[in-house]
Structure 1
């Protein structure tokens, strides 16, 4: 089947599914499909675990209006509707966070799903005409690195390779790959050992870049290969040649594998998972990027722009064919780990999050989708305090350090009121902050003693839930 006919068939299938979903919601029980994603160390697993726990036990969610008004009569877990997707291991993760020796659960490695059903009394005119109704919340967890791969769909191999190598030229951790690349003739006859060596060196660079705090580490499956590890579809790397690739050359094979990656890895993910999402939260470790310096912040800004492109189908021929009018209604950008800052700085963190996505949001036509930014902590691991320092009072947080297990007070530095103080040196390519030193520590989850009906303590998780699903619970 040709590419055009395949895309048409995929689009027709999505259209039929969308009509079926609409009929199901109209005549049966509505379903909200909430996508949860984020880049490395942003806390997706903790977010989902705490969200579910706080919906099941609603003692800490005054910002979710349906709960505050007492209209949510019951919430319970149900088997997920898709038998082919792994279940999100909620119980295991909750035990890790709330057990006698609390620890952070393992991070997201692939797609998983969980269904939460809510019995809700409607408001307004419907309240007198209908009784309690059931609303299903299907939470879909997937790695943010896979979302960034969308940007590959409308690029040729040459375009991707040129952009990637331009980025690598400015990063120290890429030097080993660049040395190997310079010693390789792209037009030489394809040799599998050479291809594997280049792909491994490129993967090593991506791994080091992610550890260093950089966000745009595509292709995403190179970092999370799963059962594709070692396959030809993950055995390519960026190369640039002055002339068109020759038949049988290493460059030609790299081009072929890049196209295979798009067709056999990226496209199925968006067709089977992303295209069915109604609401989306994107978790961002903005504090980690600030700690890692201006270049990491600028890289994060570009990554946010690329992520937002996934919600603008008019900008992508691939998505326009795939979605056929299906759209995400709300998109929340949540800056996580707000508990690493005193609450007096939370508004500044939110402003920085808004600024990181401002350019992309201003350019984008979201066809009615609402976007918002918020500073949150899915589970609060610290307490707040003040302590004297050089004749003044510092507003600090206290918690258990992850590396040593010792209790400590921590002052990360004051975030600027004007986000431009961070974004301007980031855009200018500065290597370090000129007038400040922003630090971050890793805290272990605090031991919890929860009362009946209380979920884990958090910061603004209820407001995030209200933005994402509150209108559907009315």
Structure 2
């Protein structure tokens, strides 16, 4: 044995237990920081609930869920526990499970939750076990409203730039059909009036009504999404704004332009920038959760807009491989692993999942282009947070309990494998699935989560 190594081992043998435990925690802790980027209704809350439930039963009950997850071998798991991240409320997993027990799907997230999931593994080697009796795998997660994530690109824009882009989106594509009332309101509004607090509130209220309607109709690129949620920290009096017509934005001296520019700046400075610093922490792994089926339910135009939205969102994150200096000393992380996850895969027949995966791959083309030549490892996955349907009698069908408790079968036409293959006026039904009474085994036996975790931990 090398002389220096022998001296170090001898010193360690005489080290107090507390010092050894400190060293064990220092060397034996593996931390994975995740950012889960999901638009509204993409299924983030259910994904968290299922993940935590699976790991709990795998650890405490020895249940053989997540069969492909070799990175956390069941035989070596000593314990698992959760704790909140500083500055965040704990994720309400018990409330979500209680909702499922009562036959209701968990409520959508309306604030930020943060938690750590710590899995303690026993060491096998004799020497390593003496030095470090256990190692810990730490998962750090933050759950947040999907409406927030579409706002991040605004940090890089001026008010005029955003206003012009908002009108461009509303003048074509699916947004055009749902913005008629809003555009008529703006056309008839008298901007020669002074922008009093009451008049600004009137314009912002009408714009929020448009945003809410567009969201109900499956539109994904809505800014600011924060306006769709009630939050005491977001003052629409001092931070409220909307797009303004070009006759206003072309005049730098116009009182309405000055008022909305000031509110836009306050929104970014006092709401959006602090939100990004707190909630969208630097992470080394990213899950981008995508409900492809929501777009299929509406139209091909919705899918093209979803593709554009994902491309814009990718611009707000830092990708690449972190080195030891930036990660350990500077505490700066880059995202080096990205999982593009198609959620609610149980909503489609098994026979159509290859086509669904093909569509998912095409929808992420723009986002992946943002990686450039950076070292980013990525894969595409189809995941069911809960296997809420069964295979139908026909190959292209699924069976499920509807909201009336009836066990029904739904058949599907073949899915397109590319966006251009989809008829412009074709849409696929969203199933009105009730929470299954046997929801727990359906969570524990849901598909795709083990492959997803194996990729992220590898």
With the shorter chain as reference, the TM-score category is 0.7 to 0.9
State TM-score, norm by structure 2. 0.83
State whether residues 79 and 120 of structure 2, in contact with CA within 8 Å, keep that contact through their aligned partners in structure 1.
yes
Q: 1:371 to 1:24 in 2, by over 3 A?
A: farther
> Are residue 275 (structure 1) and residue 281 (structure 2) matched?
yes
Q: With CA pairs under 8 Å and 6+ residues apart, which has the higher RCO, 1 or 2? A: 1
> Are residue 65 (structure 1) and residue 70 (structure 2) matched?
yes
Unmatched 5+ stretches in structure 2: 1-22, 59-63, 321-329
Partner residue in 1 for 2:92? 89
Partner residue in 1 for 2:196? 191
Query: What is the distance in 1 between the residues matched to 2:245 and 2:123?
Result: 59
State whether residues 413 and 439 of structure 1, in contact with CA within 8 Å, keep that contact through their aligned partners in structure 2.
no
Per-residue deviation, 1:211: 0.7
> Are residue 116 (structure 1) and residue 117 (structure 2) matched?
yes
Q: Secondary structure at the match of 2:74?
A: coil
State TM-score, norm by structure 1. 0.80
Partner residue in 1 for 2:324? none
Partner residue in 1 for 2:209? 204
State whether residues 388 and 439 of structure 2, in contact with CA within 8 Å, keep that contact through their aligned partners in structure 1.
no
Query: What is the distance in 2 between the residues matched to 1:28 and 1:261?
Result: 43
Q: 1:455 to 1:76 in 2, by over 3 A?
A: farther
2:81 to 77, 83, 92: 77
Please list the CA deviations of residues 64-114 of structure 1 after superposition, one character each: whole Å capped at 9, or x if unmatched. Answer: 1124x43541342232231x21111011112222x2x43211011111012
Deviates more, 1:194-203 or 1:144-153: 144-153
Partner residue in 2 for 1:8? none
State whether residues 385 and 443 of structure 2, in contact with CA within 8 Å, keep that contact through their aligned partners in structure 1.
no
State whether residues 396 and 412 of structure 2, in contact with CA within 8 Å, keep that contact through their aligned partners in structure 1.
no
Per-residue deviation, 1:126: 10
> Are residue 304 (structure 1) and residue 310 (structure 2) matched?
yes
Please list the CA deviations of residues 2-51 of structure 1 after superposition, one character each: whole Å capped at 9, or x if unmatched. Answer: xxxxxxxxxxxxxxxxxxxxx99854633322222311221111100000
State whether residues 198 and 237 of structure 1, in contact with CA within 8 Å, keep that contact through their aligned partners in structure 2.
yes
Q: Secondary structure at the match of 1:415?
A: coil
State whether residues 233 and 257 of structure 1, in contact with CA within 8 Å, keep that contact through their aligned partners in structure 2.
yes
Query: What is the distance in 2 between the residues matched to 1:232 and 1:385?
Result: 53
State whether residues 177 and 198 of structure 1, in contact with CA within 8 Å, keep that contact through their aligned partners in structure 2.
no
State whether residues 307 and 366 of structure 2, in contact with CA within 8 Å, keep that contact through their aligned partners in structure 1.
no
Please list the CA deviations of residues 234-271 of structure 1 after superposition, one character each: whole Å capped at 9, or x if unmatched. Answer: 42111133433326x12210111111111111111211
> Are residue 266 (structure 1) and residue 272 (structure 2) matched?
yes
Partner residue in 2 for 1:236? 241
Aligned length: 416
Per-residue deviation, 1:217: 1.0
Query: What is the distance in 2 between the residues matched to 1:212 and 1:295?
Result: 12
Q: Secondary structure at the match of 2:29?
A: coil
Please list the CA deviations of residues 107-128 of structure 1 after superposition, one character each: whole Å capped at 9, or x if unmatched. Answer: 1111101221101257999977
Equivalent residue runs for 1:335-350 within 5 Å: 335-350=342-357
Q: Which structure has the greater CA radius of gyration?
A: 2
State whether residues 349 and 396 of structure 2, in contact with CA within 8 Å, keep that contact through their aligned partners in structure 1.
yes
Partner residue in 2 for 1:294? 300
Unmatched 5+ stretches in structure 1: 1-22, 315-322, 388-393
Q: Secondary structure at the match of 2:434?
A: coil
Q: Secondary structure at the match of 1:66?
A: coil
Q: Secondary structure at the match of 2:221?
A: coil
Q: 1:368 to 1:178 in 2, by over 3 A?
A: same
Q: Secondary structure at the match of 1:31?
A: strand
> Are residue 460 (structure 1) and residue 448 (structure 2) matched?
yes
Query: What is the distance in 2 between the residues matched to 1:355 and 1:73?
Result: 39
Per-residue deviation, 1:356: 0.2
Q: 1:449 to 1:360 in 2, by over 3 A?
A: closer
Q: Secondary structure at the match of 1:441?
A: coil
Equivalent residue runs for 1:402-441 within 5 Å: 402=403, 404-422=404-422, 430=424, 432-433=425-426, 437-441=427-431
Query: What is the distance in 1 between the residues matched to 2:373 and 2:340?
Result: 15
2:380 to 342, 355, 373: 373
